[in-house]
Structure formats: C-alpha cells, structure tokens
Amino acid sequence: MGTDTAVIRRAIAGDEQALHALWRQHAPHIDAVVRRLAGDPDHAADNAQDVWIQIFRALPTYRGDSQFGTWAHRIAVNRTLNALRRTRRLARVEAEIDEEALLVEPDGERSLLLASIQEAAEKLAPGARTVFVLHDVEGYTHEEIARELGITPGGSKSQLFKARAKLRRLLAHLLDAPQPATDQRHVAPAY
C-alpha cells in the first residue's frame, strides 16, 4: 500500500497529524521487522522507538526514489542492526526468552506452531538469528546481508546453515508428533 505524497510532504513540514498518519500506516510492518531482528521483546520495543525517531528525523532526506514503506524498512533494518552490534559489544550474552511476547491467536494449532517457531528463533545465536530473519523472512540475498553486517557472503551462508540446523533440532518435536491411530475396524484385511 503506497503512502500519499501529500501526507509525506505535510509530515516533512512538521504536521503532527501527517506524522501520526505515517506511523499508523507503517508501524505494524516496521515494528514487526524490528521484533524479528531484535529477538528480545524489551530490546525490540526500545529499538522500535529509536527507529521511528530516526525515520521522522530523516524525513527531509526522503526523495521518493522508492516507496515510503521500503525506505522506512531500510532505516528500520539498519538502525536495528546497529543497535544489535552495540548490544553485542557491551554484553556478549544471548537474550532470554520472554514467553509473554509470544502472539497467541485463537486459531489453536496455527498459533501454537507460530509461537513454537518464534520461540525457537529466539534461541538462535544473535548472528544466526539476524541472518535467518534477513534471508528467510525478509528476503535479503547473502550479498546484501554481507554488506549490512560487514561479513562475507560465505559467512552469511554459514550462519544461515547453522540457524536452519538448530531450528530443525528445536522444532523436531513438531514433526515427530505421534499421529492418531487409525481405526482398524474400517481397514480392509490384507490378503
């Protein structure tokens, strides 16, 4: 969904209603990107605020070469990756899982599956999680990821391989779940 250029112009001019309209339209996607990259819900909330501050500060530089959502998405990814680098330098520990951050939808099996996948992704090492989200969720190429993270494309592929392998292990219980037994009374006898 494109953003009206008049709203963007008004926002650049400082119109608070236009700024709020931009936020209201794009926050669900931008905040979801930040949550997936950050992994930790508390860090994600802080990062999302920083991302929106940066988006609004950078508005005068928006040239319209791409859709506003794409431009804002790039800022969200860059700002979040920078915050993750800063956090890793300060504390080399993996974020704990916050069970309350899992989305619970009324659709039982589907929500359980989504919650299991999200929980498993949060257990990945930060580098592997970042590459997994950028590649498999956001659709970035290994070359783009390498440029963003300051690593080689081979390093990106290696991190993705490790992330997928760990996710397979963490989610194996979903695939190995016992299947319901078939009712033998309705099965034709074998001859």
What does pLDDT average to in each consecutive run of 10 residues of the chain (191 residues)? 75 87 88 82 80 87 84 87 69 42 52 76 86 85 87 89 87 63 47 45
3-state secondary structure of 70: helix
pLDDT at 89: 55
Q: How far is residue 79's CA from residue 190's CA, in Å, rounded to a whole number?
A: 64
3-state secondary structure of 62: coil
pLDDT at 57: 87
Q: How far is residue 34's CA from residue 2's CA, in Å, rounded to a whole number?
A: 21
pLDDT at 109: 67
> Maximum Cα–Cα distance for the chain, whole Å?
82
Answering whether pTM is above 0.75, one says no
pLDDT at 124: 86
Q: Give the Cβ contact number of residue 76 at 10 Å.
A: 25
Amino acid at 39: G
If we measure between CA atoms, which residue out of 53, 80, 59, 84 comes closest to residue 71?
A: 59
Angle between helices 68-90 and 41-58 (to 10 degrees): 130
Q: Are 8 and 22 in contact (CB under 8 A)?
A: yes
Q: How far is residue 19's CA from residue 188's CA, in Å, rounded to a whole number?
A: 68
Work out the angle at residue 35's Cα, subtended by the Cα atoms of residues 30 and 38, and round it to the nearest 5 degrees: 120
Domains of the chain, with CATH numbers? 1-91 (1.10.1740.10), 102-174 (1.10.10.10)
**Backbone phi and psi for residue 138, each to the nearest 5 degrees, phi listed first:** -90, -15
pLDDT at 87: 65
pLDDT at 51: 87
The burial class, CB within 10 Å (0-12 / 13-18 / 19+), for 109 is exposed
CA distances from 189 to 68, 95, 120, 183, 185 (A): 65, 56, 43, 13, 9
Find all residues with CB under 8 Å of 93, minimum gap 6, and list them.
none
